[in-house]
């Protein structure tokens, strides 16, 4: 009894976050290590259909909202071999790839001449908007990696031991509209994954986590074994939550309440529509423009038989809401085909 009392008295709880050597998360990417000294390294490009300025223009694509994910600034304590400033936004792009309304675009060194400082996420607002315009994007998404670590919490006794581990990721993104340079929101999400082991345990129980703690940086970025680590799981949680938040904040345009939403006038690359504040229209909203259907005639008699079904001939984007029932729009597609009295639709 006296022996156990001595041990109990010596029990010391030391619960402290220890900096993990070279720990970086990933989600949905292939393993690949980059040189930290390269100034020409960009994020992995998406497939050609969603890549920067190379996207082929079509009305369906033009109706979506394109997000340029800029390199994120790393303000965490992480200082390892991987380029987290471009890999984290690439993970977010992968998480957004299945969105029906948002189309992620990554900065690509083939069309964007960024300095080393900019690849590290130090991008002023004006520069970010310039890059977004070059990519044909509707939003420039700035980001900050605030936490990227693995913590080790430890309590020791003369006999036995106790340890628990925690992977933590916290990222903030700030989407800004290109059309009016207005910030939309500041979204912060955190992902935490721990071992949920508390109390005195057999030292052998925490050996796998001790190995993970020291050897995580040697795992291939995005490899299956890495995704099973505490840090990899914490990033997956954080990125998934960020993608859902962006999908919620940047929403489709409202259904138009005007009796007959129309193009009422055109001026080159701009036009006016008869919807505005009363329809809760916002700058940046996109609408399809539909014609009346071409006249169909009998080729033998020349008699007018009727009209073909209406078809979408262009896409417009709200540039400024002028009044309850008036907005000016930018013609994104169909400048040569859009005419006054053509109808507009939320799609």
Q: Is residue 7 assigned to a domain?
A: no
Q: Which are the contacts of 322, defined by CB distance < 8 A and separation ≥ 6?
A: 276, 328
pLDDT at 343 over 80: yes
Cβ atoms of 291 and 313 within 8 Å: the answer is yes
pLDDT value of residue 346: 87
| Segment among 22-26, 142-146, 242-246 with least mean pLDDT | 22-26
Does 31 share its domain with 157?
Answer: yes
Per-residue pLDDT band at 223 (split at 50, 70, 90):
confident
pLDDT at 31 over 50: no
Cβ atoms of 28 and 94 within 8 Å: the answer is yes
Does 44 share its domain with 114?
Answer: yes
| CA distances, 24 to each of 74, 212, 219, 235 (Å) | 12, 12, 10, 9
As a whole number, mean pLDDT of residues 10-18 equals 37
Distance CA 310, CA 261 (A): 15
Does 71 share its domain with 147?
Answer: yes
pLDDT at 11 over 60: no
Q: Is residue 49 assigned to a domain?
A: yes
In tens, the pLDDT along 53-72 reads 333 344 567 789 999 999 99
Domain residues for 123? 13-249
Q: Which are the contacts of 104, defined by CB distance < 8 A and separation ≥ 6?
A: 46, 50, 66, 67, 69, 92, 93, 96, 97
Q: Is residue 5 assigned to a domain?
A: no
Q: Is residue 29 assigned to a domain?
A: yes
Per-residue pLDDT band at 198 (split at 50, 70, 90):
low
Please give the structure tokens belonging to residue 83: 């380029």
As a whole number, mean pLDDT of residues 305-309 equals 87
What are residue 263's DSSP bridge partners?
Answer: 273
Per-residue pLDDT band at 295 (split at 50, 70, 90):
confident
Residue that terminates a domain, selected from 189, 219, 249:
249
In tens, the pLDDT along 152-194 reads 776 555 444 556 788 899 999 999 999 999 999 999 999 999 8
Does 236 share its domain with 336?
Answer: no
In tens, the pLDDT along 134-143 reads 999 999 999 9
Selection from 121, 97, 225 nearest residue 171 by Cα: 121
As a whole number, mean pLDDT of residues 100-116 equals 91
Does 203 share its domain with 283?
Answer: no
DSSP H/E element including 329: strand 326-333
Does 29 share its domain with 149?
Answer: yes
Residue that terminates a domain, selected from 249, 275, 297:
249
Map residue 119 onto helix, strand or coil: helix
Does 220 share its domain with 289?
Answer: no
Task: Tally the residues of the chain.
Answer: 347
Per-residue pLDDT band at 50 (split at 50, 70, 90):
very low
Mean pLDDT of the chain: 79
Does 271 share its domain with 335?
Answer: yes
Cβ atoms of 317 and 273 within 8 Å: the answer is no
pLDDT value of residue 110: 85
pLDDT value of residue 338: 93
Q: Is residue 236 assigned to a domain?
A: yes
Does 187 share its domain with 319?
Answer: no
Per-residue pLDDT band at 90 (split at 50, 70, 90):
very high
Cβ atoms of 173 and 141 within 8 Å: the answer is yes
pLDDT at 10 over 70: no
CATH of the domain at 291: 2.40.10.410
Distance CA 82, CA 78 (A): 10
pLDDT value of residue 55: 35
Cβ atoms of 343 and 313 within 8 Å: the answer is no
| CA distances, 163 to each of 3, 149, 194 (Å) | 24, 16, 11
Q: Is residue 6 assigned to a domain?
A: no
Does 58 share its domain with 186?
Answer: yes
Cβ atoms of 84 and 24 within 8 Å: the answer is yes
Cβ atoms of 154 and 15 within 8 Å: the answer is yes
CATH of the domain at 243: 3.40.50.10610
């Amino acid at each position: 009894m006296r022996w156990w009392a001595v041990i109990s008295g010596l029990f010391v709880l030391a619960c402290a976050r220890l900096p993990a050597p070279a720990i970086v998360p990933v989600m949905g990417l292939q393993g690949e290590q980059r040189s930290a000294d390269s100034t020409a390294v960009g994020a992995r490009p998406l497939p050609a259909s969603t890549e920067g300025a190379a996207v082929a223009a079509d009305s369906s694509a033009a109706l979506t909202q394109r997000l340029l994910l800029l390199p994120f600034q790393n303000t965490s304590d992480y200082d390892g071999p991987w380029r987290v400033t471009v890999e984290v936004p690439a993970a977010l792009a992968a998480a957004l790839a299945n969105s029906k309304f948002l189309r992620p675009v990554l900065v690509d060194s083939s069309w964007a001449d960024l300095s080393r400082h900019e690849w590290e996420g130090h991008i002023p607002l004006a520069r970010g908007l310039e890059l977004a315009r070059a990519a044909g994007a509707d939003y420039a998404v700035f980001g900050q990696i605030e936490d990227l670590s693995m913590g080790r919490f430890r309590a020791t006794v003369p006999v036995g031991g106790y340890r628990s581990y925690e992977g933590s990721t916290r990222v903030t993104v700030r989407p800004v509209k290109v059309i009016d340079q207005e910030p939309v929101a500041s979204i912060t999400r955190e992902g935490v994954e721990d071992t949920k082991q508390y109390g005195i345990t057999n030292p052998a129980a925490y050996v796998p986590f001790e190995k993970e703690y020291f050897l995580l940086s040697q795992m291939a970025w995005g490899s299956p074994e890495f995704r099973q680590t505490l840090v990899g799981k914490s990033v997956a949680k954080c990125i998934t939550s960020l993608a859902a938040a962006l999908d919620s904040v940047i929403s489709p345009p409202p259904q138009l309440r005007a009796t007959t939403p129309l193009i009422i006038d055109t001026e080159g690359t701009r036009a006016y529509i008869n919807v505005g504040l009363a329809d809760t229209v916002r700058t940046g909203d996109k609408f399809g423009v539909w014609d009346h259907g071409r006249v169909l005639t009998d080729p033998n008699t020349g008699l007018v038989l009727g009209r073909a079904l209406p078809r979408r001939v262009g896409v417009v984007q709200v540039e400024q809401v002028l009044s309850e029932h008036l907005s000016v729009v930018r013609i994104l597609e169909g400048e040569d085909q859009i005419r006054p009295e053509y109808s507009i639709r939320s799609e």
